[in-house]
Chain A
Amino acid sequence: MSFCVISHTADVALDISATTKPKLFEEAAKGYQYLLLENQECHPLEDYIIQLEGNDHESLLVKWLSELAYIFETKQQIACDFKVLALKNNHLRAKVGFAPYDPKMHSIQKDVKAVTYSDLKIEKTSKGFKTRIVFDI
């Protein structure tokens, strides 16, 4: 399981791989958190259940990461602990631990403005699944 930051001329992308699709979603969220904070510490204080509907797993992945970005921008809460509880063809249910954003403690590294569908495909590999996701920053 891993994520890796990939150079993109104007924006930034993450290569993500995991043994299962729920873990792929968790890794993607960790990658998003890395873009935001790199290696700064972040300890969740409150858990929330997030439920999303989508056309397929790719659209659920975009919605999942968009949800975390929306919560950060509007509620100033940084998502930092992730557990996918259920993943079906068009439904995602996950438990997310959030920490309040504190400008004195957290220096935001990348302002993730949106999550794109650019060339987005979740592909099966010999070890599980992989995908690449491009963020608008």
Chain B
Amino acid sequence: MIETRALTKHFGRQPVLRGVELSVAPGEFVALMGPNGAGKTTLLRILASLARPSFGAVRVAGLNLPAEAGEVRRRLGVIAHLPLLYGDLTAEENLRFYARLYDLPNSEARLAALLERVGLAARRRDLVRTFSRGMQQRLAIARGLLHDPEVLLLDEPYTGLDPLGCALLDEVVRERSAQGRTLLMITHDVAHGFALAHRSVILARGQIAFTARRDELTPDAFARQYAAIVGG
């Protein structure tokens, strides 16, 4: 469902990704971890068709990037640490705008259900600029799920969420995973990411340094491995 081969990305002369070989099977949930500057967000932006690789092959949802970027975007959802919302529109208007961009027919019921799901139904007619950071992130979750994407990319999606919001997002990702959707999540919370995902991958200095399934290691052993790689 997600596959990169020898994926390389340079910014000028600075290599950010150095031959990344990543494979995420359909229905798999992978947590991607690593120190700042490891190339996690760059990798995610390439997978989301927001940046082009310097070298290598990328396939998402069975389609080649960047050649089939339009169709990839249709099947892809992104929930990032930035909410990608408009402060001068209401919560409902933001979702309606994205529903129109995704050309979703009869989207009103879906909008209402999602706003209910993220706990913003009562604030649906309020301007997003009046929302707290956590409320904006809840709305970002609804935006990311609006078109029921096959592949969900999450870039530090817990940013700004309170414990209830974090629990909601945990529930959402578990539910998506149980439905056979493919998820790739960047997180700095090693213990939480390892506990939630089927498999955890550590990216360091632009390369995959370690990968382990949840049933292969204890959380403590994974945390030690992470510390050894990042610290070293």
Indicate whether A and B interact: no
